[in-house]
Amino acid sequence: MTVTESRPESSSEPPAARPRYRFVGTRPVRHDGLDKVTGRARFAADCDLPGQLAGCVVRSPHAHARIISIDTGEAEAMPGVKAVISGGDFPAVAPGDPNYDMGVNLMARDRVLYEGHAVAAVAALTTDQARAAAAAVRVEYEPLPPVLTIDAALDPAVGAIHAHMFTSGADPAPTEPSNVSQLTNFARGDTEAGFAAADVVIEREFTTQPVHQGYIEPHAVTADASQDGKATVWCSSQGHFNVRAQTAAMLGWETARIKVVPAEIGGGFGGKTTIYLEPLAVLLSAKAGRPVKMVMTRSEVFRATGPAPGSKFRVKLGARSDGTLTAGKAQMAYSSGVFPSYAAFLGAWTVFESYDIADFEVEARNVVLNTPRSAAYRAPSAPMSALATETVVDELAQALGIDPIEMRLRNAVSEGAINTLGAPFPRVGFTECLEAIRDHPHYGAPLGPNQGRGVAAGHWFNIGESSSATVNLNEDGTATVVTGSPDIGGSRASMALMAAEELGIDVYDITPVVGDTESVGFTDITEGSRATFATGMAVVEACRRVVADLRGRAAKMMGVDVSEVDWADGSAVHAGGEHDPLPLAAITAEAKKTGGPITVTGSLDAKGVGPSFAVHLCDVEVDPETGVVQVVRYTAAQDAGTAIHPSYVEGQIQGGAAQGIGWALNEEYIYDGDGVMENPGFLDYRVPVASDLPMIDAVIVEVPNPNHPYGVRGVGETSIIPPLAAVANAVAAATGRRIRDLPMSPVRVLDAIVNSGSDSTDSSSSNG
Amino acid sequence: MLAPMKYAAPATVEEARALLAADGGARVFAGATDLIPQIRAGRPEPSMMIDLKRIDRLSGIARAGSTWTIGAATPTADIVAHAGFAAEFPGLAEASGLIGSDQIQNRCTWGGNLVNASPAADTPPALIVNDAKAVIASAGGERTVAAAEVATGPGATCLGADEIIVEFTLASPPPRTADAYLRLIPRTEMDIAVVGAAARVTLAPDGAVTAAAVALGAVAPTVVRVPDAEAALIGGPLTDDALEAVAQAASAACRPIDDKRGTVAYRRRVAGVLARRAVAIAADRAAADQRGASS
Amino acid sequence: MTVRVHFSSDLRRLTGGLTEVEVADPGATVKALVANLDGRFPGLGERLSAGTAVMLDGEVIAHPDYEPVADGSEVYFIHQPSGG
């Protein structure tokens, strides 16, 4: 099977200096593709074991309540019921323990902290029996007042949800607990002087609501605890080593007692970087002595797994008449649900990161609410911070009569610019992305009636972390590449391409697989856009050591010193030319005689991560009488460093844009006054459907990361950052109204159109 | 142990009615595109699901003389694809083609859409402006009820416990008559109307409106007819003023609520917009209707 | 041997407002450098040990304890990022 495709015309040509690769940059059909499209691929819920029980979780109907009692007696006596567990079955956790938040989140102890919070779980012969028994668990609650909004969480008069939570990062350290878990301050220079030097200053307020990652596959697990005190767990996640570590910690078990087998994953987007069901299933299985399978309903996914935080910001930027940004000030709050998170820290880091601003102050608060614990969602916190900055930059450009791309080009960070954390940027491709959009035919295309065009940028730092890869050469010269990175976006194909490039054998002669926790070295979560970058580095390292081994074997076969043997195009080549080249398959065929099987593991903690930038261009058409916004054209340029498999880079760009458009237009958690979610399903939690979106034109920009053997930066997250602002700026262009509270639903857009003067609460001043 | 839900697929209306009468917990279904999601959302399971799709009379589209008869369990996809029907009732075909997705339309039916009695259902407003009649099988034989009379409130109908809608009848529209249906949803498909508006207009050769019907969905517990809009149209040409009067009458006629899908103010305003647009589309279609010219 | 150390501005409350210091005789590794800095700014060592990365010679290093520092090195204490 060989598939060769040419790059679409919209993709930028690689720089002339780019090395010529034989495999990297081509578009083979992914190795797991046929199984996926034929339905043969096994996802988490496809795992069935003989004798397995069905598990079901009892969940709180209250957003905040004290648990007076839990009576499982009736449930335990019901037909088919084999085990019932509740908080008391787990190791005790005390406030302040590192495991407290996750432990309490998995199973409530003395209080329920959000609607949907797990209070007990049952396992029975059938799903119906398990559900009936779950309904028969009697829980007596004493309802407590819930904290449901950022404003309430910031109000010192509102009681603290956690009596042990004191704001970290505050100076002086607070003496009273509060619902502000953490405070981050970044500053540089003299902000007052910076604003004084500006010709135009614009300050605006923004709000966004929690949104869910919306993966199609609900959380699912099958656990089999054996009599020797061990357990095997089958589940889908973004990191099965992490599932093992967290499950062990929650149960108080040694890591070696748990084996986690990764299933194919039906979407994660950050939401599967943590656990919800696994320790419950293991405990139920241990108690019942049989395997237990648990599958969340969609409603459970919405009510009990982590959405991205909601946010409330006030952002102020000043610029000189030539467009130079002089100063920035941001006051930010993120709500991370019921437990603390890094959300506010990441927001503070990213809010001004794209632009070279001499003077700035950022203050960000992370607040807790009686809503589900938030989880990572693709470039956590950055889409909201970019909404604010990219909208204000757009307004500044408008006020100054400067083209929005030109405005950004004048302020874009480049190599050596000092970032928010005070460190210099390495080589980055922001300017190249801006130029790619500026030079794209879309940028100058005519617009129709009621249409508007918006542009916005985004930055993500990306991460490295630990990865392992084992390369096994087979007897016939084919190879297996085993990594520990769950494949959430086509990474197996990318691993095979890099291995093919290194070994010089066809990409389809390489079988890339994701190994379980006992079959491959430790590997961190697939997050932070790191799999192709860091696990790719481990694959390359392993392959280079395989090649060194192959050269040694060939030298033995040729009877020459290894220093005389090179590796080229999949063959060992004698430098002197006195021996015929030995293809890889000829060497593996003789492996038993030259030292035994050829297998090498590469493991590393990846250094030299490359930040990624993206610029998105969006056209919308707004029905002025109904407020309905239709995205009619969308182009997204992103610096991939090097696109190992361009189709999956385009897929990441398109997927992030689609999710961001949904976030901009319709997605939101809706709660009633008691904190009960009103839209826990895909009917009223509106992710875009196919007909809502135009074909998203993905433009791959390639400014290689000098610290990666193939120049990879990581592409998974940046694409969700610009859409919120790109859509908002386009709606503003189409309607003349700035909508700064997401989502821009028809109700909100029509309200803005009909009730003008919505800018009255914001300030815009001209110093000149 | 819970009693397992039973399934029956009777071949005749009488068998279905007998099953229904014998078991108070039984429910009839055709596509079950509302029933199954309701059960999944936690509503009690019926003791018996009575499948109506095997009953010949309940499926099919036929025209005899000037009367159309549509089986109550006919998938709406079949109605949308029926060129002869869609030519005479373009708006009703539109409404039928907006429900859910292609997959849903292969299963869902007018009968189910009407008796589910959701205020936001798409086909009832279009059935009502076309004066559709529902033929109902009862203990004493059959009775015929205007489609407008079937739903009496959210989830409530005029049907007795053992009654089943068998079919719908519609009179072929007079010449230079056409209908239209529009709805507002935040997405482009796979959604539920925030506002729905159906209109039917008959034009005289000189362009004057001789008959009009306007009905709104999702803005009150049941479909709302807008007699003031109809009165504003009849007797004169379709002027901008007349259309504005339609919009105002429609906005005034709704009794919407605030909920997660929309606000009172939004629904009121957009009901007027959609009613005006639906009337304009229906009138354009009526003006283009060639059946009057050839007769 | 001297290295120049840069702090992220959110660490200023632990460094007496400084964002940049010169360290003479910093030790051979980042870990030794952190111990040195903790002597000068009590509490900073604990903060830097809890998930702080460095940028050293143009590379972000997430777990830098045993990275060698050389005369003239520029060490930027940043943060251990996470992602989705």
Please give the C-alpha separations between residue A61 and each of A95, A135, A219, B189, C60, in angstroms, as whole numbers: 24, 12, 20, 32, 46
The yes-or-no reply on B/A contact (3 CB pairs or more, < 8 Å) is yes
- The DSSP call for residue A689 is P
Q: Do A376 and C83 touch (CB under 8 A)?
A: yes
- Name the minimum distance, in Å, from the CA of C18 to any CA of chain A: 11
- Amino acid A43 reads F
Report yes or no: B67 at the A interface, CB cutoff 8 Å.
Answer: no
For residue A173, being part of any structural domain is answered with no
Report yes or no: A608 at the C interface, CB cutoff 8 Å.
Answer: yes
d(CA A477, CA A495): 18
Q: Do A605 and C55 touch (CB under 8 A)?
A: no
- Which two three-digit tokens encode residue A318? 């000043």
- Amino acid A227 reads Q
Q: Is A248 helix (H, G, I), strand (E, B) or coil?
A: helix
Closest in A684, A689, A746 to B189, CB measured: A689
d(CA C3, CA C74): 6
Chain C residues closer than 8 Å to A379 by CB:
83-84
d(CA A479, CA A476): 9
For residue A369, being part of any structural domain is answered with no
Sign of CA dihedral B118, B119, B120, B122: positive
Closest in B184, B187, B265 to A689, CB measured: B187
Last residue of a domain, one of A288, A304, A320: A304
Report yes or no: A630 at the B interface, CB cutoff 8 Å.
Answer: yes
**Predicted local distance difference test score (pLDDT) of residue A758:** 47
- Residue A357, CB half-sphere, CA atoms under 13 Å: how many? 34
Return the residue in A81, A620, A679, A689 with the most chain B beta carbons within 10 A, the one to mutate for interface testing: A689
Closest in C10, C62, C84 to A378, CB measured: C84
Closest in A79, A299, A683 to B1, CB measured: A79
* Interval B185-226: pLDDT, tens: 999 999 999 999 999 999 999 999 999 999 999 999 999 999
In chain C the domains, ranked by start, together with CATH numbers, are 2-77 (3.10.20.30)
> Model confidence at B233, in pLDDT bands (50, 70, 90)?
very high
Q: Are A401 and A369 in contact (CB under 8 A)?
A: no
Residue B295 has pLDDT above 80, yes or no: no
One domain, residues A581 and A624 = no
**Predicted local distance difference test score (pLDDT) of residue C52:** 78
User: Mean pLDDT across the stretch B81-88?
Assistant: 97
- Name the minimum distance, in Å, from the CA of A419 to any CA of chain C: 9
Q: Are A182 and A167 in contact (CB under 8 A)?
A: yes
**Predicted local distance difference test score (pLDDT) of residue A765:** 64
Residue recorded with tokens 């589900």: A372
What is the enclosing helix (H) or strand (E) of C8? none
Interface partners of chain A (CB pairs < 8 Å, 3 or more) are B, C
- Which two three-digit tokens encode residue C64? 């830098």
One domain, residues A598 and A651 = no
CATH number of domain containing A754: 3.30.365.10
Phi-psi region of B246 (alpha: psi -120 to 50; beta: other; left: phi over 0): alpha
- Name the minimum distance, in Å, from the CA of A625 to any CA of chain B: 7
* Interval A498-528: pLDDT, tens: 999 999 999 999 999 999 999 999 999 999 9
Span of A540-544, B171-175, B245-249, C11-15 with lowest mean pLDDT: C11-15
Interface partners of chain C (CB pairs < 8 Å, 3 or more) are A
One domain, residues A470 and A455 = no
Closest in B40, B184, B261 to A626, CB measured: B184
Return the residue in A242, A352, A607 with the most chain C beta carbons within 10 A, the one to mutate for interface testing: A607
CATH number of domain containing A72: 3.90.1170.50
d(CA A154, CA A746): 30
Residue recorded with tokens 């690689």: A14
One domain, residues A445 and A470 = no
Residues of chain A with pLDDT under 50: 1-16, 758-762, 768
Last residue of a domain, one of A606, A639, A663: A606
Instruction: Give the burial class of B114: count Cβ atoms within 10 A of its Cβ; 0-12 exposed, 13-18 middle, 19 or more buried.
Output: buried
d(CA C39, CA C50): 17
**Predicted local distance difference test score (pLDDT) of residue B111:** 98
> What ipTM describes this predicted complex?
0.95
One domain, residues A663 and A732 = yes
- Which two three-digit tokens encode residue B134? 């529902």
d(CA A766, CA A401): 14
Cβ neighbour number for residue A194 with a 10 Å cutoff: 23
Q: Do B262 and A625 touch (CB under 8 A)?
A: no
d(CA A43, CA A235): 8
For the sheet with A571-574, list strands across it: A565-568, A571-574, A582-583
Q: Are A201 and A296 in contact (CB under 8 A)?
A: no
Q: Are A616 and A657 in contact (CB under 8 A)?
A: yes
For residue A349, being part of any structural domain is answered with no
- Which two three-digit tokens encode residue A643? 């696109």
Total residues belonging to chain C = 84
Return the residue in C44, C60, C61, C74 with the most chain A beta carbons within 10 A, the one to mutate for interface testing: C60
Among candidate residues B12, C58, C41, the one with its CA nearest the CA of residue A428: C58
Range of the domain at A246: 50-145+214-304
- Name the minimum distance, in Å, from the CA of B285 to any CA of chain A: 22
Cβ neighbour number for residue B239 with a 10 Å cutoff: 10
For residue A529, being part of any structural domain is answered with yes
Return the residue in C5, C7, C9 with the most chain A beta carbons within 10 A, the one to mutate for interface testing: C9
Q: Do A379 and C79 touch (CB under 8 A)?
A: no
Residue recorded with tokens 């482009």: B188
d(CA B276, CA B268): 13
One domain, residues A494 and A632 = no
pLDDT in tens, chain C (84 residues): 899 999 999 888 889 999 999 999 999 999 999 999 999 999 899 888 877 789 998 888 989 999 999 999 999 998 866 655
Which stretches of chain C sit within 8 Å of chain A by CB?
Answer: 6-10, 12-13, 19, 55, 58-63, 76, 78-79, 81-84
d(CA A501, CA A26): 11
Number of domains present in the structure of chain A: 3
Among candidate residues A730, A134, A132, the one with its CA nearest the CA of residue A452: A730
- The DSSP call for residue C61 is E
d(CA A28, CA A510): 12
Q: Do A686 and B187 touch (CB under 8 A)?
A: yes
Q: Are A264 and A514 in contact (CB under 8 A)?
A: no
Q: In chain A, which residue's Cα lies nearest the Cα of C80? A: A463
One domain, residues A93 and A79 = yes
Chain B residues closer than 8 Å to A299 by CB:
41
Please give the C-alpha separations between residue A514 and each of A121, A241, A446, A477, A649, in angstroms, as whole numbers: 31, 12, 48, 20, 20
**Predicted local distance difference test score (pLDDT) of residue A761:** 41
Last residue of a domain, one of A586, A606, A626: A606
Sign of CA dihedral B182, B185, B189, B192: negative
The yes-or-no reply on C/B contact (3 CB pairs or more, < 8 Å) is no
For residue A115, being part of any structural domain is answered with yes
- Name the minimum distance, in Å, from the CA of A297 to any CA of chain C: 23
Closest in C9, C78, C84 to A187, CB measured: C9
One domain, residues A469 and A517 = yes
- Name the minimum distance, in Å, from the CA of A510 to any CA of chain B: 39
Q: In chain A, which residue's Cα lies nearest the Cα of C52? A: A421
One domain, residues A730 and A647 = yes
One domain, residues A476 and A440 = no
Q: Do B266 and A692 touch (CB under 8 A)?
A: no
d(CA A428, CA A411): 14
In chain B the domains, ranked by start, together with CATH numbers, are 1-51+58-172 (3.30.465.10), 177-289 (3.30.390.50)
* Interval A675-732: pLDDT, tens: 999 999 999 999 999 999 999 999 999 999 999 999 999 999 999 999 999 999 999 9
One domain, residues A658 and A757 = yes
Q: Do A746 and B194 touch (CB under 8 A)?
A: yes
- Name the minimum distance, in Å, from the CA of A91 to any CA of chain C: 25
Residue recorded with tokens 């300017």: A431
Sign of CA dihedral A552, A553, A554, A557: positive
One domain, residues A451 and A486 = no
**Predicted local distance difference test score (pLDDT) of residue A642:** 97
CA A406 to chain centre: 30
d(CA A291, CA A52): 4
d(CA A223, CA A201): 58
The residues in A 658-677 lying below 8 A from B, measured between CB atoms, are 665-666, 670
For residue A249, being part of any structural domain is answered with yes
